Amino acid sequence: MRRAGLIVAPCLLLAGCTTHLARLEPVRTAYFGGDIAAAERLVDEAIDSHASDADVLTLDKGLLALADGRPDEARRLLVTVRDRFDHLEQESPAEDAWSMLTDDRQRAYAGEDHERVLVRALAAVADLAAGGDDAEALALQAAEKQGEIVAAAVADDGTNPKSGYRPVALAPYLRGILREATHRDYDDAARHYATVASWEPGYAPARDDVVRAGGGVHSAPGHGVVHLVALVGHGPCKVVVEEVPSSAALLVADQILSATLAQSLPPTIAPIRVPRVVAAPGRVRAVAVGRAAGAGWTTAGRTTTITDVSRMAVEQDAAVHDLAVGRAVARRALKKATVFGVKEGIGLDRFGPAALLFDVAGVAWEAAENADTRCWGLLPDSVQVLRLELPVGDHTLALCAVDEAGRAVGSSVARSVSVEDGRNAYLVVTAVDAGIIGGAAAVDR
């Protein structure tokens, strides 16, 4: 019976484990409701109690800091996790072997593909808001990282499930506005804007950006530019789904093999569970911007999507979903083979009570599996931008989250920004179902 205990042990280690999504839900509720302080407290508590989730929770801390007007802290946290993910990308044979005996929650989490790209792009946004000098380098890293991810996915037969990954247009956009602000690298700026137009055809302002930069013009004399970057809506998250066809196929295989082999196999009673990325965008679709004019306000514009985060994440997950299912099926087959091998090795009577006990232990072992739902839970649904060319001086902007019909979501908030002749100013805001939340860092460069 000692060997039966060895089989049951891994499932006991996992018994009672809740998914990352269950732990994340209170954080998302607080954040999307506008209570940044409560969300930060919950994240800190989760980091203290679940070390394996620390990296993705630190990403959430980064976006909480950015929403709260602390871009220096946000940049530091995002860059820290970027470096951790780069380290964890390295293969660990021991960890891989252990996860095949348990489930993928036992692996160090190195980030999904979209997370590894966006951590660089959003660190660049935080750097802009902090008035730093690393935004262009971070934006370049985002584009390079996606290229590396796609190139590394080429199979021996030449196929590549990641070849259709949608690039992150935010990266060349940030490089474009920074090159344009030098007043000399207009050709580079125009090239980056052309890349934006190619990568994100729905971003209509890119055509005007190409023409303007191609003409060597940053802004009219006596004017500067305010670049508003808005993190809009509720981003994607992972849920647990059951692969019914795979579970059914394994059950049939169990029955066939059990009827022909010297020992029975544990029947496939527990379904095969894998993670699935889903979108849950919420009510907000954009940020409307007004500008103080005398005793009233005038409409200044509305943000436009430069990177659809939810679409990107869902499409990338769909591209590699079969690989996740294949790994789950292989894990289940390995567990069945392990139970069979132990029973065969100690010569159990196929129809005896000990063999039945082993099968029960095998079923429990399989039932202990769950999908790994770790994810960057506070990503926005989309990253949106708006370029405002304004006269030199101090300006007050009214920002309001709006829904699909253009109706206000939450109250409008006022943000002050200083515009200098021929220079860029940057304003970063977060818009969720509670409206515009937190503070907003505004800097000019």
Which pLDDT does position 18 carry in this prediction? Answer: 62
Q: What is the pLDDT of residues 141-161, one digit of tens each?
A: 999 999 999 999 998 889 999
Over range 129-147, report the average pLDDT.
Answer: 95
The one-letter amino acid code at 15 reads A
Task: Take residue 361 and report the two structure tokens written for it.
Answer: 């232990």
pLDDT by residue (tens digit) across 270-321? Answer: 788 889 999 988 999 999 999 876 656 788 899 999 999 999 999 999 999 8
- pLDDT at position 163, please? 94
Across residues 181-207, what is the average pLDDT?
A: 96
Of 251, 221, 283, 260, nearest in space to 410 by CA: 283
Q: State the pLDDT at residue 104.
A: 67
Going through 25-183 in order, the beta strands assigned E by DSSP cover none
Would you state the pLDDT for residue 62? 98
Q: Which one has a higher pLDDT value, 435 or 354? A: 435
CA–CA distance, 36 with 41 (Å, rounded to integer) = 9
Quick: pLDDT tens for 216-259.
999 999 999 999 999 999 999 999 888 866 666 665 656 665 65
- The C-alpha atoms of residue 12 and residue 309 are separated, in whole angstroms, by 37
- Rounded CA-CA distance 283/437 in Å is 14
pLDDT at 184 over 80: yes
Span 392-415, mean pLDDT? 94
Question: β-strands 424-432, 223-232: how paired?
Answer: parallel
Per-residue pLDDT tens digits for 363-394: 777 777 788 899 999 999 999 999 999 999 99
Model confidence pLDDT, tens digit, residues 31-72: 999 999 999 999 999 999 988 899 999 999 999 999 999 999
Task: Report the DSSP pairing between strands 442-444 and 424-432.
Answer: antiparallel
Q: How many residues does this entry show for the chain?
A: 445
| Residue 378 near residue 27 (C-beta atoms within 8 A) | yes
Chain position carrying tokens 């209170």 = 26
Domains recognised in the chain with CATH numbers:
219-236+279-308+381-445 (2.60.40.10)
Confidence band of 322 (pLDDT split at 50, 70, 90):
confident
pLDDT on residue 376: 96
Report residue 313 as tokens.
Answer: 């994440």
CB 158 within 8 A of CB 103: no
Match 């505004």 to its residue by tokens.
Answer: 442
Higher-pLDDT residue of 327, 379? 379
DSSP state of 381: S
Residue-level pLDDT at 324:
86
CB 428 within 8 A of CB 129: yes
Q: Where are the alpha helices (DSSP H) in 158-264?
A: 170-180, 186-199, 205-214, 244-260
Return d(Cα 229, Cα 130) in angstroms, integer. Answer: 13
Is residue 109 within 8 A of residue 88, CB to CB? The reply is yes
Q: How much is the average pLDDT of 154-180?
A: 95
Residue 45 is predicted with a pLDDT of 95
Pick the residue with more confidence: 345 or 392?
A: 392
Asked whether residue 401 carries a pLDDT value surpassing 80, the answer given is yes
Q: Determine which helix (DSSP H) or strand (DSSP E) holds 118, and give its type and residue range.
A: helix 113-130
* pLDDT (0 to 100) of residue 331: 81
pLDDT above 90 coverage of the chain, percent: 62
Query: Binning pLDDT at 50, 70 and 90, where does residue 349 land?
Result: low
Supply 381's token pair.
């649904």
Q: What is the pLDDT of residue 1?
A: 41
How many of the other CB atoms lie within 10 Å of CB of 92?
12
pLDDT grade for 17, boundaries at 50, 70 and 90? very low
Q: Residue 378: which of 22, 60, 29 has the closest Cα?
A: 60
**Looking at residue 127, what is its pLDDT?**
97
The confidence score (pLDDT) of residue 382 equals 98
